[in-house]
Structure 1
């Protein structure tokens, strides 16, 4: 039974993706090339099945410790739904099912390719969370990373292609760093993932491996300064793709850190402190950058960067304090579970608001979006309060520059409140694109909202070994409330200052020009163009020098017979010791001859 579920969870999505591709209808002549050709009946069947392919992965999470071993595949493939993977596999499957339903069942234009790439990404994400050996982990990581390029460039607009270029450059950087780290780890400790942390701790190259892991998985997790793909990819990708990019795929970076960093095995205060500082810098700097945007999905992307900074800070604590690793890992997963579902509901909610925020449905959509936003902010009684309470207990007593980390982390919720208020304001000001009746998009979103309410509580109560969950005592409730109230107060003050024209012009406009989406990617692109220009000039100069040398050589050796004699001499020189020096000397003579002439 378990083996059959594994086969269905991994093979069925890939099979449906392949069938969608091979049964594509031939292109028809059309005056409007932007309108996709209609699906054939066979394609409609595959599209209808696509969301159901996530069910086997969900079923695997109902079997504690479900595993699969295939000795003949790669270097021996091992998959295992352990305590850390189980919650993430469940929420990932829920997200992909909702995204696939919103695309495939709602008649999304251009949805065939999008569905196929979502299916491939789903398999890659599941493999990343469950891989028990390094080769299988890397296979899943690469599959997920490169298939996600198809999600980013789905619309093929200029903005999407630019976002795709930035994404693929960083994806290749991530792949290279992760591959180098995994090769070093495997050479030391063998192929099993469970042996990796000890192998890294005992290695003579611990610092190098940790650096590679932080950079490689930091790209996927959106850690400063490797975050720049997120604010570009989210507005370019369809909302369903954004939901899985922000909800599921960025968690692959977290899982990579939890699997391979020497958490609990080595005391690395320098690396841990560096990660905490960078993570908190990203968490707080994402707030002003996001506030200056004028597109809801860009603001939500910066919100993801901020919250992933929160998670990265937890990993940094575990890296510097091995005794806390056992408490930090499940707390990080609990926070990731709530964030995945709530942020997925927010991204999917962007088109839902445009299509269904009218009549009686308006209030249903407003309540759902408001609940998801409160969860991301960590408001009392929300799923976010569970993750943040667990994180607070896990890092209690840890200080950063003399400041207790427990006093700093709640301020991330204040930033989240500000960003979500900005996203909500931009959303309600958008021009609606009303749909007359409920559809699969609305249904998939409602299921995801309901899952965001129920699943985090069930997972943290039954699946994760947390030290505590939030109670209803006044102190706990106030700890969850004051960061949100502080965010509301700051927002009210900003509105008052704007009303009285006391804000600078760039802050009043907040149109994405003061800090463009991707922020530091803009000067990075300029630098890349400058380097490219210099490189092209250098290549052109080398070609000119070569052409000049050829002309000089032709003057020195004008006849064909002399040329053949020169070739014979060159062949003889290359076969003798010291001939390299002779060739260099001869080249200098030729150059001198050219100068003199």
Structure 2
């Protein structure tokens, strides 16, 4: 039973990819696309696995004796990955409904899904590498799908980095397996590992993770791929880089101070340099791609701290798993939201979806009490167990990252209105909104769901501070200032000043008009009042003093009317 459950998790997508090559089965396969990842999701939710009691099966007839299983870390990654593939599969079914290249996309989509889900279950180096490579190479078909000039350029850049990363990964796994004299990942990561093997593994996985300077493929690929593919590229596939480091590197066992320094430095650079580059982009999906690079910088800070001080790994591990889940749900929602927004035919629907898009955007920016804020606060606490030399810099970077992410999210929302993603003919609006809203709910409710989903690792998040609002507020202020500056440059300083002063000029003109009308009324009153007073005086037989007072009143009115 365990064998069938484990193999079905990635075997069902493989079978569906094979069936999609048959013309008679394509309609059925497309209808079942949202359900391809359900076996993996069911396995993650229902398997009798705890953090300390894994489920393992060995298949001696496969490759050189493949081994698959599920432990505490794999369970969380399998669950978050399956959720994203279910949502993306539901969106893909409607996004590519009438696409003439839909069959090719569907095959690559299912193969990438099988590789992504399978590598999480693989427990030997050969199976892990084979499924990791399947995911990476199949994703090439997702990036190049539209065959536009931008898509072809992005796909070429992507495949260059994939090949380089896979070569480094293969060399690192082979060297580490040779040194440990085993192919099992559980034994490989506890054996002494050379600096070279660790460096090769870090390069291979950091390429998938999108850390600078290995990030150049990521933003163009996210911008060029269809919306459902972008959601899993950013939300699920790049997390394979983090998962790979967790299951192959001797985290918590062996220190690599030089490697740790490089990773933390790359994380700090990625955190802010990606934001500075991303706010210059005009494609909203490319902006989200740079946001992923920036967010992976946060992950790198935790990984680097654990590599430098192995004793900190038990505290950092649950926080990084939460960070990965938070980013996966939020970023998947944002990409699917971009497609659902673009497919809306009227402005009312776009306004409503903009409100829904703001939920994962603010979560990602670190709104207090959200998963973004709680994750960073928990990571600050965990990093206190690491290097005291790096700690002040890491704390400052995590705090200021809220400003950088808020700027990126503001840029994304603005250009979602100005240049939304192209919608393929025949895309069904109603089929895109539901998966998007589902991820929005999960993203917003993650702090409440986390203790029930992963009770053994919920402590650091439950005990974290709610986070500060000022970084988000500062980011909003900077975004507003940048928008005003850009508008001034676009229309010219003189025109901008006219636009700014126009309301005050209008107000002054209205006040002047009211004053003119008041003076006219007083003048008319001053002209008619003497005759009226004379007649009243004669009729009332007023004395000379009263007549003089009335004359003085007339003079005063004349003066006011001037």
Distance 1:59 1:195, change over 3 A: same
Cα deviation 1:174-228 (Å, max 9, x = unaligned): 11111111111111221111122222xx24xx11012101111111000111100
Q: CA deviation at 1:357?
A: 6.9
Q: What is the root-mean-square deviation in Å for CA atoms of aligned residues?
A: 2.6
Distance 2:490 2:109 in 1: 46
Counterpart position of 1:468: 460
Secondary structure in 2 matching 1:72: coil
Secondary structure in 1 matching 2:190: helix
Equivalent in 176, 183, 188 of residue 191 of structure 1: 183
Equivalent in 279, 304, 312 of residue 316 of structure 1: 304
Distance 1:503 1:60, change over 3 A: farther
Unaligned runs of 5+ in 2: 494-562
Distance 1:235 1:402 in 2: 35
What is the TM-score of this pair, normalised by structure 1? 0.76
Does 1:85 find its partner at 2:80?
no
Q: Is contact 2:116-2:240 (8 Å) kept?
A: yes
Distance 1:113 1:321, change over 3 A: same
Distance 2:448 2:345 in 1: 29
Q: Is contact 2:125-2:183 (8 Å) kept?
A: yes
What is the TM-score of this pair, normalised by structure 2? 0.80
Equivalent in 382, 394, 399 of residue 410 of structure 1: 399
Counterpart position of 1:75: 64
Counterpart position of 1:157: 148
Counterpart position of 1:22: 22
Alignment of 1:186-335 (within 5 A): 186-189=177-180, 190-199=182-191, 202-203=192-193, 206-335=194-323
Counterpart position of 2:131: 140
Counterpart position of 1:371: 359
Q: CA deviation at 1:69?
A: 2.3
Distance 1:392 1:108, change over 3 A: farther
Q: CA deviation at 1:454?
A: 3.5
Cα deviation 1:519-564 (Å, max 9, x = unaligned): xxxxxxxxxxxxxxxxxxxxxxxxxxxxxxxxxxxxxxxxxxxxxx
Distance 1:467 1:320 in 2: 23
Q: Is contact 1:134-1:191 (8 Å) kept?
A: yes
Distance 1:198 1:499 in 2: 57
Distance 2:84 2:33 in 1: 13
Distance 1:128 1:489, change over 3 A: same
Unaligned runs of 5+ in 1: 24-39, 506-597
Counterpart position of 2:111: 120
Distance 1:104 1:402 in 2: 47
Q: Is contact 1:334-1:386 (8 Å) kept?
A: no
Distance 1:482 1:195, change over 3 A: farther
Which of 378-387 and 236-245 deviates more? 378-387
Secondary structure in 2 matching 1:468: helix
Q: CA deviation at 1:395?
A: 0.6
Alignment of 1:438-449 (within 5 A): 438-449=429-440
Distance 1:316 1:103, change over 3 A: same
Q: CA deviation at 1:317?
A: 0.5
Q: CA deviation at 1:338?
A: 0.8
Cα deviation 1:147-189 (Å, max 9, x = unaligned): 1111111111222111111111111111111111111111122
Q: Is contact 2:124-2:183 (8 Å) kept?
A: yes
Distance 2:277 2:129 in 1: 33
Distance 1:158 1:431 in 2: 18
